Structure 1
Amino acid sequence: MPATTLPSNVQLVDADRNAVLTNFPERGAEPPSWSSSAAKQSAYHICLATKDDSAVQPFVVYQPEFIDILGSSPVLRVVAEEKKFPFAHEAGIWIPKTREVFFTSNQFYPEDGARKKISISKISVPKSPDGEYKWEVVSPTPDILTGNGGVNYGEGALFCSQGQGNIPGGLIYMDIKPPYATKILLNHFHGRPFNAPNDVVVLPLDGSVWFTDPNYGVLQGLRAKEKLPNQVYAYDPKNGSLRAVADGFSRPNGIAFSHDYKVCYITDTDAYDGVGGIIDHALATIYAYDVVKSAGSTKPDRPYVLVNRRVFAFTDCGAPDGIKIDLEGNVYSGCLDGVQVWNSDGILIGKILVPGGVANFCFTDPGVLLLLNEHRIYEARIRAVGSLVRE
C-alpha cells in the first residue's frame, strides 16, 4: 500500500532513515511531537508513547507486512478509565460465551492501608464496533490474594496468585459467575513456596498448565526471601505432576504458545527492577523454545518439553511483559511504549503506541484487542485474529 493511501492514524518508518540516528537523546527525554502526516518518516522511535495525551498516529509500520495486519481502517480508542487506582494491569482473560474479559489491577494500598491489594475486575465487550464497554470490580470467594496473570480454564478462569506474607502463591481457579467461588489448584513446588507466579497458559495438546515464577514477590515486599530459582513450571492436572521446564531466567514473565503449539515464547523482564525503575542494560528479551515430546521418556504418554532455547527478540523500550500470538504466527508483547509486534522470524514489524505503555492485553473477537494501561483500557481494532480466539 503506498504511503499516500495509508489511514491518517498510521505512520510509516522509513527503513533507511531509521537505520542511522544523527543524535542520541537521553532515554526518557521528551520525544518529538506527534506528526499528523500519514507518511511520517522519523529516525527516532525510542519510547515514543511517553506523552500524557493520545498519539495522533498510534499505529507504526516498521515493515510493510504490518499494514496487512492492521487492515484498511485500524482504530484505537479508550473504552474504560479509572483514576483512583491502577485497575487494569494484568491477565486479560477472554470468556467468549459471556462476552467478558477478567483482569487484575496493579498493586495499591486500599483506604484502610493494611497491606497491598490487587483487585479483580471484569469488562463486558459489546458486539458492535461503536458499542459501550461496562466494567465492574468482582469479589472472589475466598479472595485471590495479589492476583496477576490468568487464562480461561474449563468453565471458568485460572489466575496466578502471588501470595503475601505467610500465605503462599500459586494457581487459583475462579468461577465466572457470582459469588465467583475460588479453589486452589496448586500452591507449592513439592513443599517449597513459589516466588510470585506471574503468568499462565494452557497447552491444549495435553491440557497441561504452564506458568512463570519470577522473584517480584520479594522485590515488592510480598515475602521475605526466595525459596526457588526464577523458572517456569508445567502442571498436569490429570495426574497431579509438577515439573520445572525452563530456567536460566533473570525474571521470567509472560508465556504463550504459538498458533500451532510448536513453539513456546517466554519473556524476561529483568529490565524492570520491580520497584518502578528501569535497568537499561538488563534483559528485555523474548526467548523461543521448540515444544516436543520428551525424547528421553520411556512412557507411552510422553510429556511435552522445551528444547532449542534461542533469543527471539529484544525490545527497544522497557521490557516485554504479556505476550500473545495471532493466527499467522506473529508475536505481540506489551511494552513501555504500547504493544510491539514481531513476525515469526523475530523481526519488529510494527507497534501500537499507547501513552504509558501496556503490561498485558488480550484478543477478543476476531480483529479486536483490549490493551491494559493501568488507569485506562484501550480497544484496538485491526485485521489480525488472536490464536486463542479459536479455542
Structure 2
Amino acid sequence: MLAQPKIAVGHSYRVHRLTTGLQFTEGPAWHPGGYLLFSDVIANRMYRLFPDTGDVEVLVNDSGFIGSDASQLSKMVGSNGIVVDRARNIIFCQHGNHALAYLNVNNELKFLTCLFEGKPFNSPNDLTLKSDGSIYFTDPPYGLKDEVLNPTAFQPIAGVYRFRFGRVDLLHGDLSYPNGICFSPGERYLYVSVASGNDAGVWRFPVQEDGKIGNKTLFIETAADGLYCDSNGCLYLAAEDGIHIHDESGKSVGKIPLQERPTNIAAGPAYSSQLFITAGSSVYLAERLDH
C-alpha cells in the first residue's frame, strides 16, 4: 500500500499500485465487463486489468501501429486514449496509424477515420464521447518524429476535432499540443489540456448548440496531461507531481501525490470513490476512504 494523501475538500485517498513494469501507460477507461482498459504507448499494446485479482492481459497487440516504416514516427506509436460507448465498442486513438479505431463486441478491429482534408492526422492522442455519440479528440504531434509537426506529410496544425456521422470537423487549431479532453456535466463546456509550452494549462471552450465550440479561455494555469471531470464539475488533472483537483470555478481544492508522473485518469465503477490513474510504468487505484 502507498500513501494516504489528504485533500483540501476533506477527502482522504488510499493509493494502490495495481501493476508495474510497463513502459509508458496511458488512456485508462473502465469497461462495464468488469475490467480496466489501458494503453502502453511505447509497447504498442492495449491491456485489460482486473482490479480484484491484479491480472493483466494483452487485449490488442499492435494497438496503434501496424505498419513497417516508422521513419517519420517517434517511439510513441501505440494506442493512447480509450473510451467505451453504450454498445461496449472500445474506441481508441492510434498514434502510429494516425487514426481513430474501435474494437467491437466480436473483437473485430475497425477504423473510423485517419484523414482530414486529404492528409493523415498527426497522432490522435485523447478522446471523449458526447451524449449524441460524437467523438471529440485531440491531435498533437507526440507520435511524429521528434514530436514536432510535419505539415508536408501530416496536418499543419495540432487540432481539436469532432467525428460525427462519418464526418470530421476541425473545431480548434491554435493550441500547440492539445492533449487531455473532457466535457463538463451537462456538456456546457469542453476542457482541453496542454502539458508544455507557452500555452500550457487547461483551456475551457463553451459548447454551442450545434456541437461546435466557442472562444477559449485559460481556466487553470497548471500544465496537465489527461483530464477527468466528475458529476459535480470537479476537474482532475494529471499534473507533474500528482493528480490536481479543482472545483467547477477553477479553484484548487486538493492533490493526490503519486510516486510516478501521471498521464491520465478515469473513474472506476464506483464513480464517486474510485479513480484509476496511469503513470509512467504503472497503473494505480486511488480509493476515497470517506465516501
- 341 and 181 in structure 1: CA distance in 2 versus 1, 3 angstrom threshold: same
2:284 to 378, 381, 391: 378
1:324 to 215, 220, 228: 228
Match of residue 31 from structure 1: none
One-letter amino acid matched to 1:200: L
Distance between the aligned counterparts of 1:361 and 1:199, measured in 2? 12
Distance between the aligned counterparts of 2:146 and 2:41, measured in 1? 12
**Deviation string for 1:197-230 (max 9, x for gaps)?**
10011111x2111100012223446996543311
User: Is 1:175 the equivalent of 2:104?
Assistant: yes
**Deviation string for 1:301-343 (max 9, x for gaps)?**
xx3111142111011xxx3111011111100011111111111
1:101 to 28, 36, 40: 36
Identity of aligned residues (%): 25
- 290 and 376 in structure 1: CA distance in 2 versus 1, 3 angstrom threshold: same
One-letter amino acid matched to 2:225: D
Match of residue 122 from structure 2: 195
- 322 and 155 in structure 1: CA distance in 2 versus 1, 3 angstrom threshold: same
Match of residue 306 from structure 1: 213
1:157 and 1:173 in contact (8 A); partners too: yes
- Per the TM alignment, residue 139 of structure 1 is displaced from its structure 2 partner at its CA by 3.0
Residue 144 of structure 2 aligns to a residue in which SS? helix
Match of residue 64 from structure 2: 144
2:3 and 2:15 in contact (8 A); partners too: no
Match of residue 195 from structure 2: 269
- Normalised by the length of structure 1, the TM-score is 0.65
One-letter amino acid matched to 1:139: V
Matches within 5 A, 1:326-341: 326-341=230-245
Residue 292 of structure 1 aligns to a residue in which SS? coil
- Per the TM alignment, residue 194 of structure 1 is displaced from its structure 2 partner at its CA by 0.6
1:76 to 15, 21, 27: 15
Distance between the aligned counterparts of 1:216 and 1:365, measured in 2? 31
- 368 and 384 in structure 1: CA distance in 2 versus 1, 3 angstrom threshold: farther
Any gaps of 5 or more consecutive residues in structure 2?
Answer: 66-77
One-letter amino acid matched to 2:176: S
**Deviation string for 1:220-265 (max 9, x for gaps)?**
469965433111010112xx22111112101000100012211110
- 149 and 221 in structure 1: CA distance in 2 versus 1, 3 angstrom threshold: same
1:217 and 1:223 in contact (8 A); partners too: no
One-letter amino acid matched to 1:343: D
Q: Which of structure 1's runs of 4+ aligned residues deviate more than 2 A?
A: 54-61, 217-228
- 224 and 304 in structure 1: CA distance in 2 versus 1, 3 angstrom threshold: closer
Distance between the aligned counterparts of 2:63 and 2:206, measured in 1? 36
Match of residue 278 from structure 1: none
Greater radius of gyration (CA): 1
Distance between the aligned counterparts of 1:222 and 1:250, measured in 2? 10
How large is the Cα RMSD of the aligned pairs?
2.3
Match of residue 184 from structure 1: 111
Distance between the aligned counterparts of 1:202 and 1:384, measured in 2? 30
2:229 and 2:235 in contact (8 A); partners too: yes
1:339 and 1:357 in contact (8 A); partners too: no
Any gaps of 5 or more consecutive residues in structure 1?
Answer: 1-53, 108-116, 127-131, 272-281, 294-302, 386-391
Match of residue 23 from structure 2: 86
Distance between the aligned counterparts of 1:363 and 1:350, measured in 2? 17
Residue 225 of structure 2 aligns to a residue in which SS? coil
2:158 and 2:175 in contact (8 A); partners too: yes
Distance between the aligned counterparts of 1:360 and 1:384, measured in 2? 23
User: Is 1:135 the equivalent of 2:56?
Assistant: yes
- 236 and 384 in structure 1: CA distance in 2 versus 1, 3 angstrom threshold: farther
Number of paired residues? 274
More strand by share: 2
- Normalised by the length of structure 2, the TM-score is 0.86
